[in-house]
Amino acid sequence: MMGFGMFGGMFLFWIVLLVLVVILALVLFQTKKEKRTPDPQSAREILGKRYASGEINREQYLSMLKDIQ
């Protein structure tokens, strides 16, 4: 009977340890996921947004577009 009691205690210990490891992994994964930065924009995308917003005119846009190609 004592052997079964000790086995049950060890089994419970390993289950609790496994659950804690899984929880820790999930917390770390979630934290890492939130810290991701968005993909950087290409020069062409930035230039297009500046032209669309009226920050630069057509001539400037075409000149800069030629420079980055």
State which residues form the domain around 62: 40-69
Q: How many domains does the chain have?
A: 2
Task: Looking at the structure, tell me whether residues 44 and 69 fall in a common domain.
Answer: yes
Task: Looking at the structure, tell me whether residues 18 and 44 fall in a common domain.
Answer: no
Helix segments in the chain, DSSP class H? 2-34, 43-52, 58-68
User: What is the structure's pLDDT at 10?
Assistant: 83
Q: What is the DSSP letter of 56?
A: S
For the segment 8-48, what is each residue's pLDDT rounded down to a tens digit? 778 888 899 999 999 998 888 886 665 666 667 889 999 99
Task: Looking at the structure, tell me whether residues 44 and 60 fall in a common domain.
Answer: yes
pLDDT at 59 over 90: yes
Task: Looking at the structure, tell me whether residues 49 and 67 fall in a common domain.
Answer: yes
**Residue scoring higher pLDDT (33 or 56):** 56
Task: Looking at the structure, tell me whether residues 22 and 5 fall in a common domain.
Answer: yes
Find tokens 């052997």 and name the residue.
3
User: What is the structure's pLDDT at 26?
Assistant: 87
Task: Looking at the structure, tell me whether residues 7 and 28 fall in a common domain.
Answer: yes
Task: Looking at the structure, tell me whether residues 49 and 68 fall in a common domain.
Answer: yes
